[in-house]
Amino acid sequence: MTTWTVTHADTFLNELLNKGLEFPFVAIVGLEEGCLPSINTDFPRDEIQSVLDRERRLFYVGCSLAMRFLMVCGSCQNSSSFFNSLTHPNWQIIKNK
């Protein structure tokens, strides 16, 4: 088990403001249907795929900000469709019940 010691304030940043920045540890939380991706039922049907594509790109941008460690958290009961793209050998999926 790894113990982390925080010696300075944590930084929470919007993915859109971080272009070109990298961080030693990045945590992406809320990876579950309805949260990420978030689809508003008021969107016209012909725009839903473009919204999903944009949110997937933003998810990958967030992942690319990690220099050493990336933690992605979601729900087992309401799993995000984005989890389908996270496969071995690049990802280790740990299910905690």
Q: Where are the domains of the chain?
A: 31-85
pLDDT digits (tens, 9 = 90+) for 21-59: 788 888 888 888 888 887 777 878 888 888 888 888 888
What pLDDT does 74 receive? 84
Residue 12: its pLDDT value, please? 53
- Tell me how far apart the alpha carbons of residues 68 and 11 are, in angstroms, rounded to a whole number: 16
CA distance 62 to 72: 10
Please name the residues in contact with 15: beta carbons below 8 A apart, sequence gap of 6 or more.
Answer: 58, 61, 62, 65
The Cα–Cα gap between 28 and 70 comes to: 8
Peptide bond between residue 89 and the one before it cis (omega within 30 degrees of 0): yes
Position 60 pLDDT exceeds 80: yes
pTM, two decimals, is 0.70
pLDDT tier for residue 15 given thresholds of 50, 70 and 90:
low
